[in-house]
Structure 1
Amino acid sequence: MIARPAGLSRAVPALYSLALAALILGPLLGPGYLLLRDAVSTPRSFLTDSALGLTDAAARAVPQDAAIAALTSLLDGGLVVKAILLAALWLAGWGAARMVAALLPTTGLGPQLLASTVMLWNPYVAERLLQGHWSLLTGYAALPWAVLAALRLRRSARPWSPGSWCPLGLTLAAAGLTPTGALLATTLAAVLLAAPGGAGSRWPRLAVAAALAASASAPWLTATALSGAGAQGSDPTGVAAFAARAEPGLGTLGSLAGLGGIWNSAAVPATRTGLFAVAGTVVLLAVVACGLPALWRRRGNPVIAALAVVAAAAVLLPALAATGWGMTAGEWAVTRVPGAGLLRDAQKWVALAAPFYALAAAAGAGTLGRLGVRTSAGRVRSGQAAAVGIVAVLLALPDLAWGVGGALRPVHYPPAWERVAWQLRAADESGDVAVLPAGMFRLFPYSGDAPVLDPAPRMLPEDVLQTGELIVAAGTVEGEGGRARDVERLLLAGEDADGLARLGVRWVLVEHGTPGPLGQSRRTLDRLDEVYSDEELSLHRVAGDVAATGAEAGRRAASVVAHLVWAALLAGSASVLLAHHVRTGRGRGRADQA
């Protein structure tokens, strides 16, 4: 048998994961912008108070919005978002293969590729893509790398040395593109670092991890503290509205065990809306279950044991949260515990089970090989068994391919958006933007069949007022935007324009071609100056003095510093690791020459 070159073996999982990621995103990789439910990419974003998380709304999109604003000052926003999403999916699959190689070093290439497939090709990825949670998938992608980083830190007698903590710093900073991502990666890393064993005491490495987590989470922690939005509490009706959902024939626990069960029944692939969901879940769990005996024999490895405990908790706790008493406890928490509203979408935490699933699938390839029938060439090998597992996982969710059944397609904004943005930049007047029709979601002719978040807050250079109110199947979930609600009521009632000025509104943008309540707003608009109008958008100006409502200079400076801390951790850790890789490569090259 001809030996496979070591370099090729290392490269194959990365190339395979990249190919799978491209197959998943499919048509989205063409020209245009991502605009689907909660996902909004625009040609250019701006560093507004909203982007820094300094409005009365909860800081759910920091440092994401500020980072996109910085990058889109140099690059097209559609390209930036698609590049981040492609990189996230690629790294999720590659990281799973690397994790298997580290924890199960005797496994071959086939089981590593099976682990990559399980990490990438599952209902969690499909449903979060359909919901538009592209940035959450960066936190998901960080999980196998968090395992690798925790392994390095556990093996180091000097956890404070850059070579020891930089991998974890980079992982947590990348995951920290959103608050949820930071919590996912931090939780997994903390559990692994707290597990018994490793070099030296666990407390120094936990202290290092805590400092890194605080730095990675600095933007949203600072924004929450400065804005006070987290202390207001969340609407308790959101707990039931965002609870994990039972898919056909599976129940809530079965849906979560199969890495599905997102709250929005419209954000699921077609094959998860019928009894095929049962078949797909059975296939995925069977592939995972084949590896449980092998991992049980390795239960003495504290990292593997910890991953198993985390996976079990990630499935069971969201299932319990969807019960009657679980919802009661959740309602109490979101109204009384600052920041607890971040936990209400319970299904997103099932991501923590994915690394163990990938590891078990890889371990199961050996079991599948032992169960294989004999052929003229002998017993089926683990690589062949892994290939069978890969095909089974792919067929269990066939419509994840090509943009999740074509749902992920780029859109093209009409030129009116750029013209309005230019109008606001040219005017250079302080004051916020109110939007009509009322509500946060839109249904434009160019945006497809699913409601999408209003692109105005990310398209325009001024703060756009949003109530945060969400319309779900169970009813309405109120947001934290108190001033935005006051402005919305004023517009719908057709009141005098002076009220807008008192509330800090300089502009009113009317978005045509999308349904939504307009009330008596025409009476108010008739009292304003119309500065732009076409079939897509109309922009109206409030004359005279407008109350100042922007964040104070000190709060804004503190938020900017927090974002710079996060960016420094991301760039600094990456630079140190790159320099180490270059030095190692040169040393290996000199050794080969010798």
Structure 2
Amino acid sequence: MSASGQGRRDRWVRFVPAGYSAVLALLIAGPLLGSGYLLLRDAVSTPRSYPTDSALGLGDAAPRAVPQDALLAVLSPVIDGGLIVKAILLVALWAAGYGAAVLARELVGAPVSAQLVATTVALWNPYVAERLLQGHWSLLAGYAALPWVALAAYRIRTGTGTGTGTGTGTGTGTGERIGRWAGLAGCLAAAGLTPTGALLAGITALSLAGRRQLAGVLALLIAASAPWLTATALSGAGSEPSDPAGIAAFAARGEPGLGTLGSLAGLGGIWNGDAVPDSRTTLLALIGTGLLLVIVATGLRSVVTDSADRDERYVRRALVVLAALAILLPALGATPWGMHVLEWLVAHVPGAGLLRDTQKYVALAMPAYALCAAAGCGVLARRFSTAPIDDARRSEAVGNGLSSDTHDDSALPSSSAGTPLPNLSPAVSRSVATVFITLLILPLLDLAWGVGGAIRPVHYPAGWQQVAEQTDGPGDIAVLPGGMFRKFRYSGKAPVLDPAPRMLPRDVLQTGELPVRGRTVSGEGARARAVETVLLQGGSAQELAEHGVGWVLVERGTPGPLGESKTTLAQLDPVYSDADLALYRVPGATEQRDRSSTHRSLVIAAHALWVALLVGGPLIATITRRARRKR
């Protein structure tokens, strides 16, 4: 084959992991391709949402859904909000798988077949299944960013000449350095769709980039987190301690035959026992976890030791250490003394509530697991291959993806310097990879097609649109029944977060109280609790007006406390009513509680900075990469 033909083949081979990742993403989230909206537990998508104070993070509750809610509020008047959420989720799943493949290619020189194993580890695992069932679509965007953040941090570490090893980027031009930093900025912004995602990406970047880059990485992380940091500072909600009861409620959970540590090591163990695939409630959890850990273990030694480059070796080892801590610390957090420490933290340290769902941080193990699984393919392939590779075989190996960028010997895997390369034929590599992929998929087969059909689009009654059009006057909206979670006739058996705050153009008061494992975890919505008390005790319309309430929405057909609210509703003006919803107007003057224009301007500016990183970072990185290729 000619050099030009070989080059074209190499470029096409690189698209195989991207295509495979897309296939897995569609296989997982396929039901969402139909019409309708994602409405499952914490996931709420609506046709349109609005830039209310709550969407900007200036409500009474901590800004946990910032900047995702503001992004949907801005885009949904142009593009249906349900389509936006579906697109983000599908892209996130694809990016997680493809990012794992690229990370394995660059850090361990994985051939295409081994890259597919890395993709499978990143996508076909209990963490993805459980977070989908819990409705954490935006957290999965942060999860998807982790391999790309690791790559960007690695390139910055080696590309600025700070390493003392043989980093390939020493002497890199200014334009390329800017491009690498821009790539990291875009990755951090993508992860920063939620505060937890930003924290996950920040931990990864700060762990890998190197001491000399810490200030720059920290500055980018703060900029990418500007929306929720600014909202927290201005609203004051995040400065209040969290309810210590949330620690035990959200502690990681052991699965059959595994215990807490084993469940976390298998990338499972979410606190909500109802948000797990059926297979994880049987001995398949033990089998699947055992197979995953064996596959990861086959490549662990290779990842930790087989690298002559000091920077590359550091990044590999740092990812492995990060994975170990991401498993051990949540396991310790589920012990009595670990919960005691966390309870003290959330009760005394503002913002420590981000730590209560410790199983979220198991996401940090995914990049190392993907690397080890990909490297394990090479380890087993070498055991089945004993003959030194000749020039013809070397050319064939390069054509099948063993070399990522060059055709020299240094890009091909070897057991040690100067040792003849084993004949890693495509057939052997593909066979090992096929076995690995099969062993990873079969124990969790019910992840396919919306985790066994649990994730499917729903259709809202037309009354929601009518209510949204009617709430055109001043005042916030109170809702009945009490509580934040609903069970509608159209939403399925699982409880869902009330869609009203995202569906309606006025702020909807929510207490933030979460029913978890038979207990109630208090939220930060003090005014919402006071308003709910007025309604349930049959208070007067005047009391509602004094709390800034201009509307009361009754969501019919869903369980929840109503108390003596009929007494209060009788004093209000009915505006709209159907089988599902009833809207009432609070008569008289309503006390205005809108945030100051200065606060809104500052938060909007913080969101604009985040958008600039999200869009500008990848754009600059792409421009600089193309310029380098032309040179």
Normalised TM-score (structure 1): 0.94
1:6-155 residue pairs with structure 2 within 5 A? 6-105=10-109, 107-155=110-158
Provide the C-alpha distance between the structure 1 equivalents of 2:378 and 2:607, rounded to a whole number of angstroms: 46
Q: CA deviation at 1:530?
A: 0.3
Deviations 1:337-374 (A, max 9, x none): 01000110000000000000000000000122245599
CA distance in 2, matches of 1:175, 1:442: 29
- Residue 291 of structure 1 aligns with which residue? 299
Runs of at least 5 residues in structure 2 that lack an aligned partner in the other structure: 161-172, 387-422
- Counterpart code for 1:348: K
Other structure's SS at 2:458 match:
coil
1:360 aligns with 2:372: yes
DSSP-derived class of the 1:522 partner: helix
Verify: 1:279 aligned to 2:282, yes or no: no
What is the match of residue 485 of structure 2? 441
The match for 1:190 among 206, 228, 234 is 206
1:234 maps onto 2:234 in alignment:
no
Between 1:150-159 and 1:51-60, the stretch displaced more is: 150-159
Q: Does the 8 Å contact 1:311/1:354 carry over to 2?
A: yes
Of 297-306 and 353-362, more deviation after overlay is shown by: 297-306
CA pair 449-227 structure 1, distance change in 2 beyond 3 A: same
Judge conservation of contact 1:33–1:410 (CA < 8 Å) in 2: yes
Q: Report deviation, 1:257.
A: 0.2
In 2, the alpha carbon distance for the partners of 1:371 and 1:434 equals 67
Structure 1 distance, partners of 2:32, 2:295, is 30
1:384-414 Cα shifts (integer Å, max 9, x gaps): 1011101111112101000001001000000
Q: Deviations over 1:37-56 (max 9, x none)?
A: 00000000000000011112
Q: Partners in 1 of 2:316 and 2:543 — Cα distance?
A: 61
Q: Find the aligned partners of 2:91 and 2:284 in 1 and give their Cα distance.
A: 30
Q: Which residue of 2 aligns with 1:199?
A: none
1:477 aligned partner, one-letter code: V
1:591 is aligned to none
Which runs of structure 2 are paired with 1:487-502 in the superposition (5 Å)?
Answer: 487-502=531-546
Provide the rounded CA distance (Å) in 1 between the counterparts of 2:424 and 2:185.
Answer: 47
Q: What SS is found at the alignment partner of 2:554?
A: strand
SS in 2 for 1:35: strand
- 1:99 is paired with a residue of what secondary structure? helix
1:398-449 CA-partner distances (Å, limit 9, x unpaired):
010000010010000000001110112xx3x221000001000000010000
1:254 equivalent in structure 2: 262
User: Residues of 1 paired with 2:628 and 2:46: CA distance?
Assistant: 40
Report whether the alignment pairs 1:485 with 2:493: no
For the 8 Å contact 1:365–1:382, the answer to whether it is kept is: yes
SS in 2 for 1:494: coil
Contact 1:284 1:396 (C-alpha < 8 Å) held by counterparts: no
The Cα shift of 1:325 comes to 0.5
Deviation at 1:111, TM superposition (A): 0.3
- In 1, the alpha carbon distance for the partners of 2:88 and 2:503 equals 19
SS of alignment partner, residue 137 of structure 2? coil
> Which structure 2 residues correspond to residues 568-579 of structure 1 after superposition, within 5 A?
568-579=612-623
The residue type equivalent to 1:514 in the other structure is T
| Separation in structure 2 between the aligned mates of residue 171 and residue 326 of structure 1, nearest angstrom | 32
Q: Which amino acid in structure 1 is aligned with residue 14 of structure 2?
A: R
Partners of 1:234 and 1:335 within 8 A in 2? yes
Aligned twin of 2:597 = 553
2:330 to 306, 313, 318: 318
2:297 alignment partner AA: A
- Alignment correspondent of 1:175: 191
Instruction: Give the letter for the 1:408 counterpart.
Output: I
Q: Which amino acid aligns with 2:69?
A: D
Secondary structure at the residue paired with 1:54? coil
Q: Give the SS at the match of 2:37.
A: coil
Superposed, which structure 2 residues align to 1:557-568 within 5 Å?
557-568=601-612
Q: Which residue of 1 aligns with 2:358?
A: 346
- Report the alpha carbon displacement of residue 582 of structure 1 after superposing the two structures with TM: 4.3
Instruction: Measure the CA separation in 2 of the matches of 1:524 and 1:317.
Output: 49
Q: Hey, what's the Cα distance between the residues in 1 that align with 2:192 and 2:209?
A: 19
Structure 1 residues 377-386 or 398-407, which shifts more? 377-386
Moved more, 34-43 or 391-400: 391-400
**1:541 matched to 2:573:** no
Residue by residue over 1:244-271, the C-alpha shift from the partner in whole angstroms, topping out at 9 and shown as x without a partner, is 0011110000000000000000000000
Q: Tell me, what secondary structure is at the counterpart of 2:79?
A: coil
**What's the CA shift for 1:293?**
2.5
* Residues 298 and 304, structure 1, Cα contact 8 Å, conserved in 2: no
8 Å Cα contact 1:159/1:165 also seen in 2 = no
Among 438, 442, 446, the residue aligned to 1:395: 442
CA contact (8 A) 1:36 1:451 kept: yes
1:459-478 to 2 correspondences below 5 Å? 459-478=503-522
Q: Deviations 1:55-75 (Å, cap 9, x if unpaired)? A: 120110000100111110210
Between 65-74 and 263-272, the greater mean CA deviation after superposition = 65-74
1:511 to 1:368, Cα distance in 2 relative to 1, 3 A: same
CA-CA distance at 1:499 after TM superposition:
0.3
Assess, with a 3 A threshold, how the Cα gap between structure 1 residues 504 and 123 changes in structure 2: closer, same or farther. Answer: same
Partner Cα separation in structure 1 for residue 255 and residue 316 of structure 2: 30
Could you say which residue in structure 2 is the equivalent of 1:166?
Answer: 182
TM-score by length of 2: 0.88
**Contact residue 550 and residue 590 of structure 2 kept, 8 A:** yes
Could you say if the C-alpha distance between residues 154 and 96 of structure 1 is closer, same or farther in structure 2, counting changes exceeding 3 Å?
Answer: same
Counterpart amino acid of residue 62 in structure 1: V
Q: CA 1:378–1:117 in structure 2 vs 1: closer, same or farther (change >3 Å)?
A: closer
Q: Which letter does structure 2 place at the counterpart of 1:494?
A: G
SS at match of 2:612: helix
The alpha carbon displacement at 1:336 in A equals: 0.4
1:156, CA displacement in angstroms? 2.6
C-alpha distance in structure 2 between counterparts of 1:355 and 1:75, whole Å: 33
Amino acid corresponding to residue 362 of structure 2 in structure 1:
V
Distance 2:305 2:247 in 1: 40
Equivalent pair of 1:169/1:212 in contact (CA under 8 Å): yes
Contact in 2 for aligned 1:42/1:459 (Cα 8 Å): yes
The answer to whether the 8 A contact 1:85-1:137 is kept is yes
Matching of residue 513 in structure 1 with residue 557 in structure 2: yes
- Measured on the aligned residues, the alpha-carbon RMSD in Å equals 1.8
Distance 1:474 1:319 in 2: 22
Q: How far, CA to CA, are the matches of 1:214 and 1:61 in structure 2?
A: 17
1:226-254 deviation line (CA, Å, top 9, x unaligned): 11111111110000000000111100000
Shift of 1:159: 8.0
Instruction: Say whether the 8 Å CA contact 2:40–2:455 is kept in structure 1.
Output: yes
